[in-house]
Amino acid sequence: MSNSKAISLGIHVGHDAACAVAIDGHLVAAIQQERVTRRKHDGQECLSNRLPIHEVLQAAGVSIDDVQRIVSSHQSAAPGGIGFGKELVSPDFSRFTPTDSRHFAISHHLAHAYCVAPYLNGDDCAILVTDLAGSTTHDGKDYEMSFSELVATLRVLREASPVRTECLSIYKWEGGRPFLVDREFAIPHSEPDCFVFSPASLYDNASQSVFAKPNCYGQLMALASYGAVTKNAVSLSIDEICQVHEHSVAWLNGWQSKAFLSPLNFEGAAAFASVVQRCTEESILAYARRAYRLTGAKRLAVSGGLFLNINTNSRLAYSGLFEHISVPSAPGDAGIAVGCAMYGQASLGVDLRGARSSSDRLGPVYAASSIRKSAESFAPLVMIETLSVPRVASDLRSGHIVARCSGRSEFGPRALGGRSLLASPLDAETKNRLNQLKGRQHWRPVAPVVLEERFADYFEGPPASPFMSFVHKVKPEQRSVLLALEHPDHSTRAQTLDTHSDAALRELLLAFEQLTGHAMLVNTSLNGPDEPIVETPEEALRFFIKNAAIDALIIENLYLRRARRWDEEKWKCTEIRLASDCITGGFVGHNGRESRIYRASKSIEVSEECCALLTSHALDFLPTLEFLQLAQSISASVPDELHKLVADGWLEWRRA
């Protein structure tokens, strides 16, 4: 790579750790750590070799020696917070020398502010940043310094010196950089899971109280739609949670015990979620009015985890306060890596008024030869065909669920066609089938991808939503047609596909339109419960094999369907056994004797003959053809039963 190019590497150290690379003002690659480690929301407290530094550099086509600026942001770093084994650098970190003169560090909200740069397409903009907690400092101000200076600063904490943790910031973007104009701070409390001091703390605590686990913000937002139409009113008002003024919000406490005097049923939880959602929206509108008053800007950009809330984003868009609202594809903490990379560009003299990111598809490129090899390694279980778009469209019209692993993966938290499950929006069962497949509550909605030029035919709301950043309403005349999008308030989260994005997906939408009259598909992420979105083609293949509800898989120019019967030629030189996480068992009930295979909370009924065979012969790997001969000697129907068990993942196989 030529040294004439300005190349920067951005690193977010914290939960949802990520890395990004920018070149000459363009964001060219970004990867979340969870996609590599396969641990949802995976993070780091220090610089570590687990960070996807190698992967993002490879995706960008550069080496660490090509990089002219390395910029990191450290979520948990605070004055006096180093020591007792808690350091900024893992002892075995070897990707680069942390004290390298190229390495700078910036504060959390400053990185969030720079994260919006590739999505602004101009200058003179207000930026509103809000999250649960950002950087902790002596003076509450942003910092930008060499990494060596950061280490020295954090080792010092003056006696009895207070520290401040940012939770809401307003910037003015001008001349290609952000300028801080206002800030609010988190309030320390002995019960942080109850005490509320900001919009993010309200939403975080409310979602955990309803679902009893973290990271359930999307679920609370979906639940709020049911509360908006329920007749079961919760005895709690917005004014009891916060007092919203023209440009400020006074947060109240003490209402929490009132909200949970008795266990919440579904209707009560939905009503509570609705009040929390409305309070969040009204408070953000007040902060937006403050941003307008302080900056005078006609456009607003938002950043921070709270702005994954599409209802809040849409309230801002509908408010009329600003002419345009910009939302990054990854407004949460993963986007910090993008902000660091863009700050690195600015520090190298790049004018960020020309910064661009044409897409959220920022992951690695996988070679066609390796994809074909991976597909062929699963040959006994799949039929491999050359992709035919009309064939796929026909399958989707017939009600099939089709997985798609095509092109570069998405960086943000939402699947945009690269790693997606696609289905017909015209089938009422689509929603139930996808929710079962993904292990989600039955009331969770599914979202569509639609050609941008057809958007107005179906929906009301912001017409450009390439990252699923806004909420839309299904038009009344379309509600009896788009049955899969059913939701109590008729809301949905549409992805609009323009003429410059994902030509292959666009071709599929047009083919589906030819068959059905509708240039739209249901699009949800390619992952199971509590899993990150699939990254590699091999992971997509394994996910397809494991989930019988998926009818077919697109991988680039290949179309894979399930093999329904044994092909002995393909099964030569393979071995088979009961999956290592499964057990067999039988019991006698009202309907007589029943045999089943069990895996965790799931089970499947099998014939008594099949269960006996598995129990006696399949604890260790056996040659597959030998196993089939045993099955045939028991019953002619057992081999087909075994094939289905293999295809559905209850039996595992390997090359001998």
Write out pLDDT tens, residues 340-352: 999 999 999 999 9
Could you give the residue ranges of the DSSP H alpha helices within 497-637?
A: 503-516, 537-546, 568-571, 608-617, 624-634
Note the pLDDT of residue 86.
79
Q: How far apart are CA 255 and CA 205, in angstroms?
A: 13
pLDDT band at residue 157, thresholds of 50, 70 and 90? low
Which bin fits 626, alpha (ψ -120 to 50), beta or left (φ > 0)? Answer: alpha
Note the pLDDT of residue 159.
64
- Say whether 36 sits in a helix, a strand or coil: helix
> Residue 151: phi, psi to the nearest 5?
-60, -45
Domain 368-562 shares a fold with domain 571-655: no
The most confident of the ranges 80-84, 249-253, 258-262 is: 249-253
Alpha carbon distance, N-terminus to C-terminus of the chain: 44
pLDDT at 445 > cutoff 80: yes
Summarised one tens digit per residue, pLDDT across range 353-400 is 988 887 899 999 999 999 999 998 888 899 999 999 999 999 999 999
- 146-160, 450-464, 491-505: least confident range: 146-160
Note the pLDDT of residue 1.
53
With a CB cutoff of 8 Å and minimum separation 6, the contacts of 34 are 16, 40, 41, 42, 532
584 neighbors 597 (Cβ within 8 angstroms): yes
Note the pLDDT of residue 473.
97
pLDDT band at residue 160, thresholds of 50, 70 and 90? low
Strand order in the sheet with 574-578: 622-623, 574-578, 651-655
Note the pLDDT of residue 229.
67
531 neighbors 364 (Cβ within 8 angstroms): no
Rounded to the nearest integer, the mean pLDDT of the chain is 93
Summarised one tens digit per residue, pLDDT across range 614-626 is 888 877 899 999 9
Only one residue has tokens 């249901």, namely 522
> Residue 396: phi, psi to the nearest 5?
-65, -40
Summarised one tens digit per residue, pLDDT across range 17-45 is 999 999 999 999 999 999 999 999 999 99
Write the DSSP assignment of 231-258 as a string of letters. Answer: S---S--HHHHEEE-SS-EEE--S-HHH
pLDDT at 588 > cutoff 90: no
Note the pLDDT of residue 158.
63
Note the pLDDT of residue 123.
80
b/e sequence 140-167, b meaning 16+ C-beta within 10 Å: bebbbeebeebbebbeeeeeeeebbbbb
Percentage of residues of the chain with pLDDT beyond 90: 73
pLDDT at 111 > cutoff 80: yes
pLDDT band at residue 259, thresholds of 50, 70 and 90? confident
Distances (CA, A) of 120 to 334, 423, 464, 469, 649: 18, 33, 14, 15, 46
pLDDT at 627 > cutoff 90: no
pLDDT at 227 > cutoff 60: yes
pLDDT band at residue 236, thresholds of 50, 70 and 90? confident
Give the start-to-end residue ranges of the domains of the chain: 7-192+287-354, 368-562, 571-655
Maximum C-alpha span of the chain: 82
Summarised one tens digit per residue, pLDDT across range 514-558 is 999 999 999 999 999 999 999 999 999 999 988 989 999 999 999
Distances (CA, A) of 143 to 107, 114, 149: 5, 13, 11
12 neighbors 19 (Cβ within 8 angstroms): yes
* Count of all residues that appear for the chain in the document: 656
Note the pLDDT of residue 233.
59
Written out in words, the top-level CATH class of the domain with range 571-655 is: alpha beta
Q: Measured on CA atoms in the order 90, 96, 102, 106, is the torsion positive or negative?
A: negative
CATH number given to 368-562: 3.90.870.20
Closest CA to 402 of 505, 530, 262, 252: 505
Note the pTM of the prediction, 2 decimals.
0.92
Burial of 517 (0-12, 13-18, 19+ CB in 10 A): exposed
Note the pLDDT of residue 560.
97
pLDDT band at residue 262, thresholds of 50, 70 and 90? low
Write the DSSP assignment of 374-422 as a string of letters. Answer: HHHHTTTTEEEEE--HHHHHHHHHTT--EEEE-SSPBSSSS--SSEEEE
557 neighbors 563 (Cβ within 8 angstroms): no
Q: What is the CA radius of gyration of the chain?
A: 26
570 neighbors 579 (Cβ within 8 angstroms): no
53 neighbors 19 (Cβ within 8 angstroms): yes
561 neighbors 551 (Cβ within 8 angstroms): yes
| Of 263 and 190, more confident | 190
Note the pLDDT of residue 277.
95
Q: In this structure, are strands 651-655 and 552-555 parallel, antiparallel, or unpaired?
A: unpaired
